[in-house]
Structure 1
């Protein structure tokens, strides 16, 4: 028998836990934020198991806080599999990608504070495998304020690099895409760029498209989708290598060729920069190097060699500046733009 009260027990009892790979138990309240979150989640799972699978509605705000990507995925998968219904709000693409499009609701709040929502609706001619192949890209786009659809991996590398240079140039008034909430979406082909315009437009997001001259003319159905772009640009070049080597000055191309010549992945079969090479030869060598290492980040390395707006390829720079101008709030707006969140709802296999 003891005269200790429940309050006394709360004051003196401590739960000690040893976390892997460590061997020393510590008070649970001294664990990291992520460990505490998982501990709470484990207790909720235990309660759910006592009640029986699919008998509990699980609701959690920001389950990804302080958790690595693999733990986020595991947490969501377990909850969806064992709970009667799972409702989470999240800013993590690793969480959002675990839900099918028809289980995702995009929440938005405008500058006046009004909350709205929209669902992810894929067009009838949009194949499910197209979504699954780019599921994480979609998840990031769902969280974005605006989406810029580009045609390939090189453009997806180059455009953010152009934005970096614009931001660093003190003579240019420019808000970086990361600050403006703009994401770049790789469509993996010029003919695929228009297909994503209606997908993102239905979410109420400004959507921009840019690609070079297509090898084959678009069909009428594909061409009609370009009307859903907020702004759409076809660059008069056959490829991104043509654009970069024609719109960037030879002096910058020379700096680029010197800087990459010592890289272990430099395409030696293309040759190297030599004294006395004329402008045309420098452009040709730069084109060969970019083409020889297409998809390996060399386009972004070339852009990183630029030191100001004046040295950037004008087609990309002007397009990004126009996107920035479009997204600037009106001078009389009470706030600086909307915030976006995503809610994922996971049901039993037969739906809810």
Structure 2
């Protein structure tokens, strides 16, 4: 069982949206772009407890807060979810509502002709909907879920009830919000779900309530409260019959079963030892955030094992959890669920997904789109796993991407930006502050295709490259938003010809004095009196042979602004100006 398609209209920040999901999907994109809204929309349709909340929706759930149109008529929130890969049991249960979905074309088949449904790519599906609107007569907001097939003679649809939703098995873990109630017995908590899946009924409520009622509080006459309560009783009885205000006394509370469900929670040892040698226990929600998340995920795994056929939706599993645990979470949840849908800002999480399972979310003018990342141009799966994966994932999480032609540029530009910010913080920002990720194309021929790839994913793309032929330059200029071409053929020449001689000499002598000048280049070892041209020749060979060590970036990191190549400084400033201007639109 999995969600194949979700369509959203006028819900929160989404005016319209139509996206397709795989068996395992991670949604990536900027903050407040709509990733969590997608999961909340699914929960409105499939969440067994969702419609029991009051209110189901409110003014702020409508796109731009508009729940009435210009004529004063109610505006509707509409959400449609198509579920496929139904088990035999689910197909029997939903038999009156089955439609047919073509996995190959991501298309719902209009009608059930045998020649279409016999195709291997065509599977049974159910189509479900949520409709929410403002009810003027009740002066309140309403929401309901229903099957979208078949339509009744009167034009309405059969309701999709809580018992139907439990057959689908959707679980939504919100960021940091479930932890505080995960181990309570409140309706819909994770512990409550586990108890219900085990068909356990707890006959303890009356016993607990009776014990609380029987606890005496402040009845010691020395406290003085008993005397005050007796005076209250005597005063009241002067106005009402004596048996109306008989024997007032304090009790712990007037708790009901519902109160107890919310209040009862699991206590856990904290590791703190009291003076009497016993270990202090605190409520579950008072544990560390990492512990809460790990335990919540343990409960989710238990639910998946009990239910067998479940769709998990999870916001940001990386919160307060170290990278190796993030990876284990993704692996565990994915292996135990029919479908797993995540949102994330962590490259460690993204590394666990094939690029085709990463859905890049963008929104323009209220229209939200989701584009599968897929493999970058000319990057084979093995190379992706071994070399490219981390920086690719970081670029997917960024709003802006700078594509460099080679390793030296890849190391040098962030070093220049950091150094300028360090020296002139009021004028310059680092690429991290600007939200720019850097990708090494590793060849001049790959700058254009990789630039085009990221631009199609909705990223603002910059590219820096050596002097090109007219044909190559035109290809790059058409593929990226902002191209920057050097006038030298090699980037080492950009550094050596553009930097001040005293900075080059200072760096070279530092290498010699620190014992870092390569022994195989002893014949070219720099000295105080070495001619500048000879020094540049020696450093050119040094930079070329030590690309992997980031030596060019080290050099730039010890320069002043005036000692750096003007070409590098101007590009860093230009990128900052472009981003700041676009941000003000």
Query: Would you say same fold, with TM above 0.5?
Result: yes
CA–CA separation in structure 1 for the residues paired with 2:445 and 2:426:
33
Among 252, 256, 267, the alignment partner of 2:518 is 267
Among 242, 254, 257, the alignment partner of 2:493 is 242
The 5 A counterparts of 1:39-188 are: 39-52=295-308, 55-108=309-362, 114=366, 116-122=368-374, 126-129=378-381, 131-132=384-385, 133-170=387-424, 173-188=427-442
Per mean C-alpha deviation after superposition, the further-off stretch among 36-45 and 317-326 is 317-326
Give the structure 2 partner of residue 277 of structure 1: 530
CA–CA separation in structure 2 for the residues paired with 1:277 and 1:172:
38
8 Å contact 2:357–2:373 — kept in the other structure?
no
What do the CA deviations read for 1:41-67 (whole angstroms, capped 9, x no partner)? 001100110112xx1111111100111
Give the structure 1 partner of residue 250 of structure 2: none
TM-score by length of 1: 0.79
Give the structure 1 partner of residue 478 of structure 2: 227
- Cα shift at 1:147: 0.4
Q: In structure 2, the residue corresponding to 1:135 is in which secondary structure? A: helix
The answer to which structure has the higher strand fraction is 2
- Cα shift at 1:187: 1.5
CA–CA separation in structure 2 for the residues paired with 1:45 and 1:12:
20
- Asked if 1:307 corresponds to 2:560, the answer is yes
What do the CA deviations read for 1:285-311 (whole angstroms, capped 9, x no partner)? 322332332210211110011122x22
What do the CA deviations read for 1:169-191 (whole angstroms, capped 9, x no partner)? 43973332111111110122222
Among 175, 179, 197, the alignment partner of 2:451 is 197
Structure index of larger Rg: 2
8 Å contact 2:401–2:461 — kept in the other structure?
yes
Give the structure 1 partner of residue 21 of structure 2: none
TM-score by length of 2: 0.49
What do the CA deviations read for 1:305-350 (whole angstroms, capped 9, x no partner)? 1122x221222222222222221235963xxxxxxxxxxxxxxxxx
Give the structure 1 partner of residue 254 of structure 2: none
Q: In structure 1, the residue corresponding to 2:424 is in which secondary structure? A: coil
CA–CA separation in structure 2 for the residues paired with 1:82 and 1:218:
54
Q: In structure 2, the residue corresponding to 1:164 is in which secondary structure? A: helix
8 Å contact 1:167–1:174 — kept in the other structure?
yes
- Asked if 1:36 corresponds to 2:288, the answer is no
Q: In structure 2, the residue corresponding to 1:317 is in which secondary structure? A: helix
What do the CA deviations read for 1:97-124 (whole angstroms, capped 9, x no partner)? 22223322223467x8x47333135589
Among 279, 290, 309, the alignment partner of 2:543 is 290
8 Å contact 1:197–1:226 — kept in the other structure?
no
8 Å contact 2:311–2:338 — kept in the other structure?
yes
Q: In structure 2, the residue corresponding to 1:307 is in which secondary structure? A: coil
Aligned length: 320
Unmatched tracts of structure 1, length 5 or more: 19-23, 334-352
Higher relative contact order structure (alpha carbons within 8 Å, sequence separation ≥ 6): 1
Unmatched tracts of structure 2, length 5 or more: 1-206, 213-256, 272-278
